[in-house]
């Protein structure tokens, strides 16, 4: 990659598996060969001998938290840790932020008044442009036009401009990770892609015009395609597929497929924000916290993607 990136690595929810998988990641020689690591954690939850620079911050000397408990104390700890990571990147001391899994209930109990951490990041960064979560499984990225909203509201939230912007966010996100001319596919909304309007007109009236508008802005994409075959099409390179990214219309339309294909390998990227931010796609796994059973795969992938995004950002 040339110049080694510096990654601010936050150990996440101290009541979950975050400290364990971060410790496992730091024990792998490849980690410290790939990047310099600024570790944001408490001494009580992390081995101070880890091969990383332990950041001096307000949570460094926090006492041990009860495992498997989502409460205001670990919520505040997580918000402080994330703020520290953002400050390190904004100040130029780090090139990207990578964090271990968080618990949204604890975050809200600790003072987060947002539907998810992505919107919290946007406020902290003063970012008013479009942003969305990308989900990444090796070479396949997904994005979505609507996210954490009730399913009954999705149709009313779809519009041509939103579809075009969503395509643009994923196109630019893949470019930020080093894919210069990404191939995108766009998912329909209704069963059988609406069956020419028999099962709904969103594909005709909203999604297809959104795809056209995105192409006019330099973000080409194919589709819309039926939701029940789009992932087969994306993965089947021999049949003219082989897409780098899929734009879906709502949260579970992409998440179910991605997690079935690789629950312990998937990564979430806070897309559209002015700094690279990555995290494992799985949760805090309270049921196995402290038992030494957590799989480091997704944490490793999130860290390596943060490194790649740092490299692309600095070229």
The 8-class DSSP code of residue 309 comes to H
| pLDDT attached to residue 196 | 94
Residue 222 predicted with pLDDT over 80: yes
Residue 232: CB atoms within 10 Å: 13
Please list the residues that pair with 54 across neighbouring strands: 39
Give me the domains of the chain, ranges plus CATH numbers.
Answer: 1-130+274-315 (3.40.718.10), 139-264 (3.40.718.10)
Pick the closest to residue 137 from 246, 53, 272, 60 (CA basis).
246
Mean pLDDT over the full length of the chain = 92
Residue 30 has which token pair? 């490849």
| pLDDT attached to residue 1 | 42
Query: SS3 sequence, 47-59?
Result: CCCCCCEECCCCC
Pick the closest to residue 230 from 148, 294, 140, 101 (CA basis).
140
Cβ(283)–Cβ(103) below 8 Å: yes
Averaged pLDDT, 256-273: 90
Higher pLDDT, 178 or 237: 178
Residues found in the chain? 315
Q: Kind of pairing, strands 36-40 and 6-10?
A: parallel
Residue 306 predicted with pLDDT over 90: yes
Note the pLDDT tens digit of each residue in 250-264. Answer: 999 998 999 899 888
| pLDDT attached to residue 241 | 62
| pLDDT attached to residue 134 | 93
Note the pLDDT tens digit of each residue in 188-221. Answer: 999 999 999 999 999 999 999 999 999 999 999 9
DSSP 48-110: TTSSSEEP--TTTTPPPPPTT---HHHHHHHHHHHHHHHHHHHTTS-SEEEE----HHHHHHT
| Cα 200 → chain centroid | 31
Higher pLDDT, 97 or 176: 97
Cβ(305)–Cβ(278) below 8 Å: yes
In 3-state terms, what secondary structure has residue 131?
coil
- Confidence band of 50 (pLDDT split at 50, 70, 90): low
Block residue for tokens 């069956």:
195
* For the chain, percent of residues with pLDDT exceeding 90: 79
Averaged pLDDT, 36-54: 82
Pick the closest to residue 99 from 264, 283, 255, 274 (CA basis).
283
| pLDDT attached to residue 51 | 67
| pLDDT attached to residue 77 | 97
What CA–CA distance (Å, rounded) separates 263 from 8? 24
Angle at which helix 72-90 crosses helix 117-125, to 10 degrees, equals 50
Residue 287 predicted with pLDDT over 90: yes
């Amino acid at each position: 990659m040339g110049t080694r990136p510096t990654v601010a690595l936050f150990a996440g929810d101290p009541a979950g598996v975050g400290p364990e998988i971060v410790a496992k990641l730091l024990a792998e020689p490849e980690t410290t060969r790939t990047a310099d690591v600024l570790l944001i954690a408490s001494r009580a939850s992390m081995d101070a001998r880890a091969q990383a620079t332990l950041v001096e911050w307000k949570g460094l000397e926090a006492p041990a938290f009860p495992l498997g408990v989502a409460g205001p104390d670990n919520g505040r700890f997580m918000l402080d840790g994330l703020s520290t990571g953002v400050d390190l990147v904004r100040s130029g001391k780090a090139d990207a932020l990578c964090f271990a899994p968080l618990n949204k209930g604890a975050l809200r109990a600790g003072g987060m008044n947002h539907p998810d951490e992505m919107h919290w990041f946007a406020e902290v960064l003063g970012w008013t442009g479009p942003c969305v979560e990308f989900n990444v499984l090796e070479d396949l990225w997904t994005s979505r036009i609507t996210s954490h909203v009730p399913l009954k509201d999705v149709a009313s939230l779809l519009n041509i401009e939103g579809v075009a912007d969503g395509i643009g966010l994923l196109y630019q996100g893949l470019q930020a990770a080093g894919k210069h001319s990404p191939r995108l596919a766009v998912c329909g909304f209704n069963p059988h892609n609406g069956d020419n309007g028999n099962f709904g007109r969103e594909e005709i009236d909203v999604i297809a015009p959104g795809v056209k508008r995105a192409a006019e802005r330099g973000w080409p994409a194919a589709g819309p395609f039926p939701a029940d075959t789009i992932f087969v099409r994306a993965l089947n390179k021999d049949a003219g597929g082989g897409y780098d990214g899929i734009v879906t219309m709502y949260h579970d339309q992409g998440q179910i497929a991605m997690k079935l294909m690789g629950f312990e390998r998937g990564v979430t990227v806070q897309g559209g924000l002015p700094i690279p931010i990555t995290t494992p796609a799985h949760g805090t796994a309270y049921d196995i916290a402290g038992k030494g059973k957590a799989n480091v795969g997704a944490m490793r992938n999130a860290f390596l993607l943060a490194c790649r995004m740092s490299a692309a950002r600095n070229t």
